[in-house]
Amino acid sequence: MKDKILELESVRGLAALMVVLFHTPAWYLPLFDVSVVRNGFLMVHLFFVLSGFVIYKAYGARLHTAMDLMKFQALRFGRLYPIHILFLLVFVGIEGAKYVAATTFGMNLPNAQPFQNGGIAEFIQTLFLVQSLGFTENAKPFNFPSWSISVEFYTYILFALVTLLAPRGKTFVYAALAILALLAVAVLREDVGNFIFILHCVSGFFLGCLVCQACDILRGADLRLPAIMPLAVVVLIFVYLWLKPEGEYPYDYDLLIFPLTAMLIFALQLSADNPLSRLLRVKALAWLGTISYSIYMSHAALIWIANQFIRVVLKRPEISLNGLMHPQLTAGEAVLAYGALFAMVIGLSSLTFLWLENPLREAARRKINFQRLS
């Protein structure tokens, strides 16, 4: 982890846990209805900005030839694809289990029939990571969090092409891409359809690239922010997540997470040694960042398993909410359930990182012989 920015690693790990909490069913309504929890999906947008910052810092000055571009994209593929395929297959298994439960054991499936959220066509689309680029009706088949991996993978290609082909004008192109994507979402709103996902990624990612460039310039000018700034920005983000209005259209106020994330990065990068940075450098929090990709990709499957245990084994009463059935727990049971879920997610993610993600990534790095920093 010596080459990583530990503060940003920890931010990414904590944001991944907020996504887990957002996706957890309404086992306990007082927690489920908390505004910060309901807005936890915005942490994926935060990921995009962080990703742009980290990728630019690692590769912004290192893509000079077509071979560099190919090596860069191969490393990105090696980083993302093994875990993606693993949990795609896990979800195919889940759909198969649902089919057996319904046809062999006659069990009632209250929320979705087997393969209702994805068939052969969706499997092939997901296999090639094109399911969320805007050209398909179902942008989130099977392991639904993988939508962001789909759009980010192709945003990497766009980044590499711009960086390679416009080395002197890349800053202008980054800015144009970020602004145009943001304007498309803000102006066209629902008319963008499923292209919303790639537009969000492009806007956030290239904003992150610009933030990295700006941090380098300001650090070179010896600009330092007050030590209180990082904590102040975190408080501002939580106030935003707590009070964010719904808006007349979806995404009306969601885009504010982009400048807020940029502010957080600036504060952490340009503040002198500050209390929040010291906290975020704690090894346990940094480890969450290290395994954050595995957390993000594994949690939906584990939530499904936990939900079935509560429903089928514990036989808890259920309520209908937003068209889905949610088993209900008491406050004490909810504490145990959430604790067990987070322990399972972190435990499994640690194992998949240690046994699959990291070994395959290191093998790809050695084979490609193109060391990176992220």
Place of tokens 């330092």: 224
Give the SS3 label for residue 293: helix
Max Cα-Cα span within the chain? 69
Token pair listed for 219 = 């650090």
C-beta contacts of 284-287 below 8 A and 24+ residues apart? 285/9, 285/10, 285/13, 285/14, 286/1, 286/4, 286/6, 286/9, 286/10, 286/13, 287/13, 287/350
Q: pTM for the whole thing?
A: 0.93
Kindly report the average pLDDT of the chain as a whole number: 91
Residues contacting residue 246 through CB under 8 Å, at least 6 positions apart:
252, 253
Q: 23: helix, coil or strand?
A: helix
Domain boundary assignment for the chain: 6-368
Residue 271's SS3 state is strand
Q: pLDDT digits over 274-301, tens only?
A: 889 999 999 999 999 999 999 999 999 9
Amino acid symbol at 139: A
Q: Which two tokens stand for residue 58?
A: 């690692």
Tell me: pLDDT of 249 over 70: no
Q: Strands 324-327 and 318-321, how do they pair?
A: antiparallel
Q: What is the pLDDT of residues 358-370, one digit of tens each?
A: 998 888 888 876 5
Task: Give the rounded percent of residues in the chain with a pLDDT score beyond 90.
Answer: 77
pLDDT in tens, 12-40: 999 999 999 999 999 999 999 999 999 99
Model confidence band, residue 374 (pLDDT cutoffs 50, 70, 90): very low
Type of residue found at 39: N
pLDDT higher than 50, residue 2: no
